[in-house]
């Protein structure tokens, strides 16, 4: 995982390049699937473009920590992106 697609980047490196803005760090709205609680470790899920909670994730798979919460299904929650 390279990061999370950002809808409102604070700083945009390579602004003249083609493609989408990817957040490498910071608080970013993130599409998630399944239940998520604040503090959960977030990893990529099997659902394209979504993250999921996995508090037993191995280093190298972690996207960041959830700041927001969701009771389940598909939702958008704020995640503190910190690739670990």
Task: Specify whether the CB–CB gap between 62 and 79 falls below 8 A.
Answer: no
Per-residue pLDDT of the chain (84 residues; tens, 9 = 90+): 778 988 888 888 888 888 888 898 999 999 999 999 999 999 999 999 999 999 999 999 999 999 999 999 999 999 999 877
69/35 Cα distance (integer angstroms): 8
Q: pTM of the full predicted structure? A: 0.89
Structure tokens at 55: 């508090």
Task: Specify whether the CB–CB gap between 46 and 34 falls below 8 A.
Answer: no
């Amino acid at each position: 995982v390279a990061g999370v697609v950002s809808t409102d980047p604070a700083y945009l490196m390579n602004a003249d390049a083609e493609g989408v803005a990817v957040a490498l760090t910071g608080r970013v709205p993130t599409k998630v699937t399944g239940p998520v609680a604040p503090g959960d470790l977030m990893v990529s899920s099997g659902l394209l473009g979504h993250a999921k909670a996995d508090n037993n994730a191995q280093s190298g798979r972690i996207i960041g920590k959830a700041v927001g919460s969701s009771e389940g299904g598909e939702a958008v929650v704020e995640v503190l992106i910190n690739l670990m």
